[in-house]
Amino acid sequence: MSSPATPTCSEVSAEHTSRASPASRTPASHTPASRTPDHADRLPLASLLALALAAFITILTEALPAGLLPQMAAGLAVSEAWVGQTVTIYALGSLLAAVPLTLATQNVRRRPLLMAAMAGFVVANTITTFSTSFALTMAARFVAGVSAGLVWALLAGYAARMVPDHQKGRAIAVAMVGTPLALSLGVPAGAFLGAMLGWRVGFGIMSVLALIVLAWVRIKVPDFAGQASGKRLALGHVFRLPGIRTVLFVVLAFALAHNLLYTYIAPFLAASGMPGRTDTVLLVFGMMSLLGIWIIGVLIDRHLRTLTLVSTGMFGLAACTLGVASDVPLLVYAAVGAWGLAFGGAATLFQTALAKAAGDAADVAQSMLVTVWNLAIAGGGLLGGVLLDRLGMDAFAPVLVVLLAAAVLVAWAGRAGFPKHGS
């Protein structure tokens, strides 16, 4: 599975905006300051939901082959193992492109850049729909991954820039709701459609949805200027900003633990005497993820630090439960539910913390998050394979607990990355 997230335009505070040059200011009709008092606390839902659909397409495009392996293998005349590499090359495209593309496009206006990224999905998914060549399909998947890396680097900061400071977390939560929806509903629906109508239909639908997003963004999403040449920051400088390394470490530890468990959930359940329950367990995970992102969206602007610590700690307790009570189905479901609740809003928490810490450099910082998240995806697969081969499933829970305990400790100590409300 992918990245959120996640997934930016620079977060501009009132102080920075007041000092910006006229060329870098957005039109008054598109800035939070221009809203009347009656509308000051009303989120621009039409614009934010366009971003949410972009996130939905990004996640579903990545994960769809996982539900269609047999059909795609037959259609492309390769093994299921090779079809599985269409997910790998997508993640590789995101991993390689996020940082350099974000750095190269810092001065580009935001709406055309987001539309260009969505156009990449139209092209890639259309090629995948009609391709009979495995090599061509892999090339298209790489292009889709590159587009995903850019989308994830744009979304959180774009959402934050649409609203005043006290609503930034809620805005990011709305923009990120497409991620759990894609995992909990989109992937099963895509697998169902693939079984009923053929696997190519699913990718064709993704192309149509991407076209809809293109039109939606052009009509409803405000445009913002990129960074002026004098304000562009080097990658190393952004990495050294207070709080950035703290947030990135917590992201790495949390995402590595998540992907370790998520990637190997089927063999874990088989070892626990629940081999036929994978779909039900993942449904519980997906539904609780939706609840998690709703809770985070309501509370994040006042309790970012507390929510981060509670979510990470809850995931750690779930891992402990899975380690000591994996033979009790009811406790397994409860632990998976807690894991889903913790994961649902995690990307929003991390992206909001990073946007606040980075300020005007939010685009570059978010591209680092995309890279770290994709490293965690790859690391989860590699580390899980080693643990499974050499130590068995019993080794998973202790490793998860160590990773999550480290995340809690760093988040607790790193007040620059996860400050108290009002600090």
Q: State how far the Cα of 3 lies from the Cα of 148, in Å rounded to an integer.
A: 9
The segments of the chain whose pLDDT lies below 70 read 1-41, 228-233, 421-423
In a domain, 275, yes or no: yes
CATH of the domain at 191: 1.20.1250.20
Residue 64 domain boundaries: 40-222+234-413
Residue 195, domain member (yes or no)? yes
Query: Is 33 part of a structural domain of the chain?
Result: no
pLDDT confidence of residue 28:
37
Question: Which pLDDT tens digit goes with each residue over 255-269?
Answer: 999 988 887 887 888
Residue 367: predicted pLDDT: 86
Please check whether residue 45 lies inside any domain of the structure: yes
The answer to the question of residue 5 being in a domain is no
The pLDDT of residue 4 is: 52
**Structural domain contains residue 15:** no
The pLDDT value given to residue 230: 59
pTM for the model = 0.75
Q: Is the dihedral of CA 87, 88, 92, 93 positive or negative?
A: negative
- Number of domains within the chain: 1
pLDDT digits (tens, 9 = 90+) for 167-220: 888 888 888 888 777 877 777 777 777 778 889 998 999 999 999 999 999 999
pLDDT the model gives residue 325: 87
